[in-house]
Structures are given as C-alpha cells and as structure tokens.
Amino acid sequence: MQGTNLTEMKINIPAELSENTADLVVKFAEAMAEKLHKSEKKYGYSDEWMANSWGLDCKNQFMRHIQKGDPVDVANYCAFMFYHGWSTMLPPMPEGE
C-alpha cells in the first residue's frame, strides 16, 4: 500500500491455503482499502455504504464499474453488497421497457 500512515490489520487465512493465494488475498485487500481511502478523501464518503436504503444504487454502481473495467472498484461494491447480504443481480425490468 502506498502512503506512510497505515494501520496493520490481522486476517485469518486457512493454513492450507497456498502461500501465493494467501498473498494475493492480502494484496488485493490492501488495494481495496487504498481505493476506498482515496474515495473517502476525494468525495467525502465515510460509512454511507452501511445504509440499507441504497441497494439499487449500489447494484447500478457495481454494473457501471464493471463497464469501466477496474476490478478493485468492482470488488469494493461487492464488499458493500456482501455486508448487506444483497445479491449482485439487478431486479428484473418491467415488461415493455
């Protein structure tokens, strides 16, 4: 992770997970945290993702970020949905639209 003001966090990883895969998990989590931190600073975001009221917007942003092509942004939206227990599926479109 870039920067000098970091907090070390401990995560539990299965002992049988290959070392390379465990390293991937840690590095990807660090990339997610860095991206979220940049968004918090740039847009003034904080814990708004915890609100139950933004499910459809979260899914729409998830789909938009898939199109943009950044897997870290996509993963962050997946993490928000994971927190809420939301599916990544958008609701079906009403017929005729």
49-61: per-residue pLDDT in tens? Answer: 999 999 999 999 9
Phi, psi of 10 (to 5 degrees): -105, 135
Q: What does each of the 97 residues of the chain score in pLDDT, given as a tens digit?
A: 555 688 999 999 999 999 999 999 999 999 999 999 999 999 999 999 999 999 999 999 999 999 999 999 999 999 999 999 999 998 787 877 6
pTM: 0.87
Q: Which helix (H) or strand (E) holds 43?
A: helix 19-43
Structure tokens at 82: 């994971």
Q: Could you tell me how far CA 55 lies from the centroid of its own chain? A: 14
Distances (CA, A) of 86 to 50, 67, 96, 97: 12, 20, 26, 24
Report d(CA 91, CA 23) in Å as an integer. 36
Structure tokens at 73: 């942004």
